[in-house]
Amino acid sequence: MEARKERMLSEHLAARGIRDAAVMKAMREVPREAFLPSGMELFAYDDGPLPIAEGQTISQPYIVAYMVEALELLGGERVLEIGTGSGYAAAVLSRCAAQVYTVERIPFLAAGARARLEVLGYDNVTVHLGDGTLGWEEHAPYDAIVVTAGAPEVPRELLDQLAPLGRLVIPVGPTQHLQELVRVRRTREGKIRQEQLCPVRFVPLIGEHGW
Ligand code: SAM
């Protein structure tokens, strides 16, 4: 398993441009196999997404690293993740930020991720069951927000919950399965700046301000 993980780090992440040392350290530390359905552990460090349950997926390791790097975390941030899924990306985020709040709409996945994160000791992650297109007002504002499902547009509520100088990384696209990853920044004056990062393919963001 360790050799497979080292190959992932060098061939799938470093060779494709992941440079943030904290992100690389987190990708080395978090055991992706612990977030997979049993029987799939052998595929944990392959270069692709994998099915979890309820028709959902755990994202490709490279995409997880790319999205976390795109958030430009320094370690002291409060981060909101929409789309907990297995809890893997939340665990990676928890190594790169101070506090992680993560929202999942499917009860079975939220419960599984909560239990897994607790057993593994990721005690700066809080899992919430709900519609993440509404954000999680209770703990706002967030220094960084990451959405791990594809949205038709950037949900207004997420922009409202982004702190000044905050970054929001989200797949946005005109169809449910093809998107462009975009990064939105809130300036010190509160203005919104958006940049396109790369084409991606995520499961759809389902909810009041999603599909
Ligand atoms: N980050 C996850 C991981 O590390 O395993 C992978 C996430 S998977 C690609 C996308 C997740 O977004 C699914 O678990 C799906 O149920 C969830 N999702 C879709 N719409 C949502 C919404 N409105 N609020 C919260 N979660 C949502």
Instruction: Identify the pLDDT of residue 190.
Output: 87
Identity of the residue numbered 98: A
179 touches ligand 1 (CB under 6 Å): no
Q: Note the pLDDT tens digit of each residue in 86-133.
A: 999 999 999 999 999 999 999 999 999 999 999 999 999 999 999 999
Average pLDDT over residues 165-193: 95
Instruction: Identify the pLDDT of residue 71.
Output: 98
Q: Which residues contact 195 (CB under 8 A, 6 or more apart)?
A: 182, 183, 185
Tell me: pLDDT of 137 over 90.
yes
Catalytic residue among 10, 38, 59, 86: 59
Catalytic annotation present for 38 = no
Instruction: Identify the pLDDT of residue 159.
Output: 97
CA of 188 to the centre of ligand 1 (A): 30
Q: Among the atoms of ligand 1, which is closest to the Cα of residue 102?
A: 25
pLDDT band at 68 (very low <50, low <70, confident <90, very high): very high
CB 182 within 8 A of CB 159: no
Tell me: pLDDT of 207 over 90.
yes
Average pLDDT over residues 25-31: 98
59 touches ligand 1 (CB under 6 Å): yes
CA of 153 to the centre of ligand 1 (A): 16
CB 179 within 8 A of CB 199: yes
Average pLDDT over residues 177-186: 95
102 touches ligand 1 (CB under 6 Å): no
Instruction: Identify the pLDDT of residue 43.
Output: 96
Rounded CA gap, 70 and 156, in Å?
Answer: 20
Rounded CA gap, 41 and 10, in Å?
Answer: 20
Tell me the best of 57, 105, 145, 158 to mutate to test the pocket of ligand 1, counting ligand atoms within 8 Å of each CB and taking the most. Answer: 105
ipTM above 0.95, yes or no: yes
Distance of CA 148 to CAs 67, 172, 178, Å? 9, 10, 13
Mean pLDDT of all residues belonging to the chain: 97
Q: Among the atoms of ligand 1, which is closest to the Cα of residue 35?
A: 5
What is the Rg, in whole angstroms, of the alpha carbon atoms belonging to the chain? 16
Tell me: pLDDT of 64 over 90.
yes
Tell me: pLDDT of 177 over 90.
no
* Domains of the chain, each with CATH number or no CATH: 2-200 (3.40.50.150)
